Copies of this chain bind each other. A is one copy, B any other.
Amino acid sequence: MKLSTKGRYAVTAMLDLALHAGKGPITLAEVSGRQHISLSYLEQLFSRLRKANLVDSIRGPGGGYELKRPATQISIAEVVLAVNEPITATRCNGKGDCQGGDVCLSHQLWSELSDQIYQFLSGITLDHVIQRDFVQQVAERQNVRFREEDVIAFG
């Protein structure tokens, strides 16, 4: 699972669509104006989002984009995956030059951890985010004891 500003742009744009759903197609020009993302860059991102079946495009005047599925059925994980090339998990990827045991173990461990992150982001939908009670929902699901000391500046 890769998380960078690119994924953030994509999620932000999808949230914009979700926030303005039901009012007909949204043009990228509108999204660009509202979210301060360059139009051409949005075009690239939406090309991926369309190929991933996350949005429908309507061409011509009055056209634009809209969510292909309800916001309740699009996860953050899907959006991030759509725009990011996956991280290649290992260097010795199936080449079998992984002697020594330790190496492959570390790779395996990372892979399992990566699975968990993916599962986590799969459980959060665009709707969860715009409803914003997702904070409580996720906290409940996790039974997380919130440790203040852990919360330092991060992006």
Contacts and interface: CB of A to CB of B under 8 A. Distances in A.
Interface in A100-117: 100, 102-103, 105-107, 109-110, 112-117
Given A4-B4, A12-B106, A113-B124, A86 B19 contact: no
Given A116-B135, A122-B147, A135-B112, A1 B154 contact: yes
Contact of A110 (B12, B77, B87): B12
Interface string A33-56: 011100000000000000000000
Interface in A1-29: 1-5, 8, 11-12, 15-16, 19
A103 B3 contact: no
30 contacts: A1-B154, A2-B3, A2-B4, A2-B155, A3-B3, A3-B87, A4-B4, A4-B87, A8-B110, A11-B113, A12-B110, A19-B102, A34-B102, A35-B103, A36-B91, A76-B113, A78-B150, A89-B155, A114-B154, A116-B135, A116-B138, A117-B117, A118-B154, A119-B144, A119-B146, A119-B150, A120-B120, A141-B142, A141-B144, A142-B142
A114 to B, nearest CB: 7
B86 A155 contact: yes
A57 to B, nearest CB: 21
Given A4-B2, A114-B155, A154-B1, A103 B144 contact: no
